[in-house]
Amino acid sequence: MRRTKEQAAETGRQILQAAETLFLDKGYDNVSLEEIAALSGVTRGAIHWHFKNKHGLLLALRNEAQEPFRQFADELSEGRGSASIEKLGDIITDTFKLLEQDPRQRGLLRVMMRLDIGLAEKEEGGENTFPEEMHALFVRIFRAVERSPGMMKPWTPEKAASMVYAAMGGLITEWALRKTEFTLSNDGGLFIRTLLAGLQRRPTDEN
């Protein structure tokens, strides 16, 4: 039984990797499930079983990118972790490192951008864009910070989430689309940590 689950998980990873490669090479609308099946070495039925359809593949890729932030937010909601600005800085910096070091992670970013452009153009309800979902995760994290140890005035969880995600997204876009002299993990990480340090109340801060 365990072997079967491991095989299923590996098949899912192979399908996702094939889908990502084709989406980037040809564009989401120009890729068929048959092409994904052929590249991943599975049947079209296997894709339906794992992901239902092509859109499900994009949602699975999105979930992979969000997972570290989701896990941290869940830990805070369940009381299994402390609301640490430093840990959030670590997670964001680790994300920057993955984008620099792993071509697949960099490709995943481009896939998410294409998905969000498509959702915005359709202007249909029911589907949240990647920035909207990330903003919601950041709000959950900063609400835990607000409870303890507290946030510096006049910051609220919603305002902090908007600012931090905008800074994170801006750094990634600048690094990915332009030839710049800064490194995303070192220089970008330093900028994010400096930004975060001004949001959390310290024991010596007055109310």
Helix (H, G, I), strand (E, B) or coil at 34: helix
| pLDDT digits 0-9 by tens, 165-175 | 999 999 988 88
Over residues 48-88, the pLDDT tens digits come to 999 999 989 988 888 888 889 999 999 887 767 666 889 99
Residue 203 has phi, psi (to 5 degrees) of -55, -30
For domain 1-52, the CATH class is mainly alpha
- Cis peptide, bond prior to residue 149, ω within 30 of zero: yes
Give 96-144 pLDDT, tens digit per residue: 998 888 766 666 677 677 677 776 776 555 567 788 889 999 999 999 9
Q: What is the pTM of this model?
A: 0.78
Res 127: pLDDT: 66
User: Can you give the pLDDT at residue 104?
Assistant: 60
3-class DSSP state of 151: strand
Distance separating alpha carbons of residues 193 and 61, to the nearest angstrom: 27
Strand partners, 200: 151
CATH 3.40.50.800 fits 58-197, yes or no: no
Higher pLDDT, 79 or 1: 79
Residues 185-202: what's their mean pLDDT? 93
Matching residue, tokens 């909207």: 132
Which range among 25-29, 34-38, 181-185 shows the weakest confidence by mean pLDDT?
25-29
- Output b/e per residue, 175-186; b: 16+ Cβ within 10 A: beeeeeeeebbe
Q: Kindly list the domain boundaries of the chain, sorted by start residue.
A: 1-52, 58-197
> Does the pLDDT value for residue 90 go beyond 80?
yes
* Structural tokens at position 3: 């072997």
User: Secondary structure of the chain: what % helix, strand, coil (to 5)?
Assistant: 75, 0, 25
Phi, psi dihedral angles at 155 (to 5 degrees): -70, 140
